[in-house]
Homo-oligomer: A and B are copies of this chain.
Amino acid sequence: MKNYKKISVAHELRTELHDSLDLTGAEISINTLPAGASVPFVHSHRLNEEIYAVLDGTGNAVIDGENVGLKAGDWLRISPEAKRRFFASNDTALKYVCIQVKAGSLEGYTMTDAIV
């Protein structure tokens, strides 16, 4: 079995990578919220830290009742217990990546985990 897997992701409203890439340390979704749309529920997590990367467009998150503006180039880390909801702005779609990882799971990284 190969030590890697590659896929090409088309422009869809939501693409989930865990199963298609055989991920074992993260779930990653690529999302587009159309202009004026929102994720229709508030959620938090049991164990997972979420990291959001805004690829295109503008919008906002409401996190524990606080409004956080979002634009392309923004990166956002949210602790498991925070209550969150996402909104695209009224005039542009919001395209973003959401990375779920188990909070506290990382040990070494980069040069402390690499073998060069």
Contacts and interface: CB of A to CB of B under 8 A. Distances in A.
B116 A41 contact: yes
B4 A106 contact: no
Contacts of A97: 53
A106 B68 contact: no
A68 B6 contact: yes
A111 B10 CA distance: 24
Q: How large is the interface on A (under 10, 10 to 19, 20 to 34, 35 or more residues)?
A: 35 or more
Contact of A75 (B9, B81, B84): B9
Given A6-B76, A21-B51, A116-B42, A27 B81 contact: no
Given A4-B64, A23-B49, A55-B55, 19 more contacts: A3-B78, A5-B76, A6-B74, A9-B75, A18-B106, A23-B106, A25-B26, A25-B103, A27-B109, A28-B75, A43-B115, A46-B113, A46-B114, A46-B115, A47-B108, A48-B106, A100-B106, A102-B106, A105-B106
Interface of A: 2-10, 16-18, 21-29, 41-49, 51, 53, 55, 61, 63-64, 66, 68, 71, 73-79, 81-82, 84, 97, 99-110, 113-116
